[in-house]
Chains A and B, each alone.
Chain A
Amino acid sequence: EVHLLESGGGLVQPGGSLRLSCVASGFTFNTYAMTWIRQAPGKGLEWVSAISGSGSNTYYADSVKGRFTVSRDNSQNTLFLQMDSLRAEDTAIYYCARIFVESDTDYRCFDFWGQGALVTVSS
Chain B
Amino acid sequence: AIQMTQSPSSLSASVGDRVTITCRASLGIRNDLGWYQQKPGKAPKLLIYAASSLQSGVPSRFSGSASGTDFTLTINGLQPEDFATYYCLQDYTYPWTFGQGTKVEIK
Known contacts A95-B44, A105-B50, A109-B34, A45 near B87 by CB under 8 Å: yes
The minimal Cβ–Cβ distance linking B62 to chain A, given in whole angstroms, is 14
Q: Give complex CA distance A100, B55 in Å.
A: 11
| A44 part of interface (Cβ distance < 8 Å) | yes
Chain B interface residue bracket vs A: 20 to 34
Q: Give complex CA distance A30, B101 in Å.
A: 32
Contacts of B96 in A (CB 8 A): 35, 47, 50
| A113 part of interface (Cβ distance < 8 Å) | yes
Q: Is the interface of A mostly helix, strand, loop or mixed?
A: strand
The minimal Cβ–Cβ distance linking B46 to chain A, given in whole angstroms, is 5
B1 and A108 contacting across the interface, CB-CB below 8 Å = no
A107 and B1 contacting across the interface, CB-CB below 8 Å = no
Q: Give complex CA distance A69, B38 in Å.
A: 27
With A47-B97, A109-B34, A115-B43 given, name 4 new contacts (CB 8 A). A47-B98, A62-B1, A105-B50, A114-B43
Report which B residues bind A (CB closer than 8 A).
Answer: 1, 31-32, 34, 36, 38, 43-46, 49-50, 53, 55, 87, 89, 91, 94-101
Report which A residues bind B (CB closer than 8 A).
Answer: 35, 37, 44-47, 50, 59-62, 95, 100, 102, 105, 107-111, 113-116
